[in-house]
Amino acid sequence: MHKRFRIAVMVTAVSLLAGLLGTAQAQTNMKISISIGKDSHQGVGIDTFAQEVEKRTNGRYKIQTFYSGSLGGERESIESVQLGTQELTLTSTGPVPNFVPEARILDIPFLFRDKAHARAVLDGPIGQELLTKFESKGFKALAWSENGVRHMTNSKRAVNSPSDLKGLKMRTMENPVHVAAYKGLGIVTTPMAFPEVFTALQQGTVDGQENPLSVIMAAKFDQVQKHLSLTGHVYSPAIILMNKAAFDKLAAADKTAFLEAAKVAAKANRDRVDVDDAKGVADLRSKGMQVVENVDKSKFMDQLKPVFEQFEKQFGKTNIDKIRNYK
């Protein structure tokens, strides 16, 4: 008994020492960023990713987390990851088509019935195949995550139907698919990086913007926007991107650790989106927003018919239908 105890103490001491030496010898720091604040679905995503990577690599990799666009907006962050000046970012697909055009198809309005449909497509063969398209552009796409279902806000009037959108000046993401669709709805589109949006709304440079409830709450847009309409006009995917060379340098087991960490992070991120969606309307109402909850989406889809026809030509009707009909 006594001897066994002594051996156990020795083993523990040796492994502790090895652990310490390991950490001291080879701790690699990496950066990950988001464009919105820490207390958000994306903040939960990158915080979870950092914890999981550290845990799964016994602290040999430390992920430093940057919030609120402190390393730049989403387009800049994607550029930095491509160049390798920053290893990682979690970003909406807003600016992604400018880097990986194949991903554009996911940004088509009213493509997905709901979040469950979108998640199934992204986690299934279509989404996984799309992840591989990032490789030739200098990225390792670790996992799809989620920004959420986008709704419209503005400072001018309640939006019940597309006719209410006519002439409204709205900030959009720097995304060609969104811009084309919103123009088709009669909106005067102003593409802009996210970190500039609050001030633009405050100063009246634009009348409105569109984002998921998660983002509207995290960015406190209720302080500068009166009206919210649950248009649910488009699902907004997010993605965890890593510099490809940085990923390729990892040992095989660490590659798995990063990929698994990204999956756990995406799950935590999606769970938070669900929590935000459940409480968002009540929360934003309590902060003074006027909310139109029952929006007739078919009116918006009718108005978008000519734009949908364009998209079918651009992306292939069969490709779009494959996503629409995915079960």
CB of 17 to ligand EAX, least distance (A): 44
Among residue numbers 215 through 234, which ones bind ligand EAX (CB under 6 A)? 215
Can you read off the two tokens belonging to residue 317?
Answer: 């009707």
Pairing of strands 88-92, 28-33: parallel
Least distance (Å) between residue 14 CB and ligand EAX: 46
Nearer to ligand EAX, 78 or 215 (CB): 215
Percentages of the chain per state (helix, strand, coil), in multiples of 5: 55, 20, 25
Q: Which residues contact 179 (CB under 8 A, 6 or more apart)?
A: 172, 189, 191
Cα–Cα dist 9/4, whole Å: 9
If binding means CB under 6 A, how many residues of this protein chain bind ligand EAX?
Answer: 11
Chain residues 85-104 in contact with ligand EAX, contact rule CB under 6 A: 92, 94
Q: In this complex, which beta carbon is closest to ligand EAX, that of residue 189 or of residue 236?
A: 236
Pairing of strands 208-212, 139-154: antiparallel
Q: For residue 67, give the DSSP letter.
A: -
Measure the CA–CA gap between 210 and 234, rounded to whole angstroms: 10
| Nearest-approach distance from CB 56 to ligand EAX, in angstroms | 26
The only residue of 173, 213, 230, 261 in contact with ligand EAX, by rule CB under 6 A? 173
**What residues from 18 to 37 belong to the interface with ligand EAX (CB under 6 A)?**
35-36
Site string (233-262) toward ligand EAX, x via CB under 6 A: ---x--------------------------
Q: How far is the CB of 36 from ligand EAX (least distance, A)?
A: 5
| Per-residue tokens: 61 | 């990799």
Please select the residue that binds ligand EAX; options are 49, 182, 194, 247, rule is CB under 6 A.
Answer: 194
**Which of 65, 147 has the CB closer to ligand EAX?**
147
Distance CA 171, CA 197 (A): 7
Q: Which of 154, 146, 144 is nearest to 182 (CA)?
A: 154
Distance from C-alpha of 144 to C-alpha of 267, rounded to nearest angstrom? 10
Secondary structure (H, E, C), 17-49: HHHHHHHHHCCEEEEEECCCCCCCHHHHHHHHH
Among 89, 153, 189, 211, binds ligand EAX (CB under 6 A): 211
Residues 131-170 that bind ligand EAX (CB under 6 A): 147
Give the DSSP H/E element, type plus range, for residue 239: strand 227-243
Nearest to ligand EAX of 173, 250 (CB atom): 173
CB of 194 to ligand EAX, least distance (A): 3
Residues 74, 87, 207, 276: which binds ligand EAX (CB under 6 A)? 74
Binding site for ligand EAX (CB under 6 A): 35-36, 74, 92, 94, 147, 173, 194, 211, 215, 236
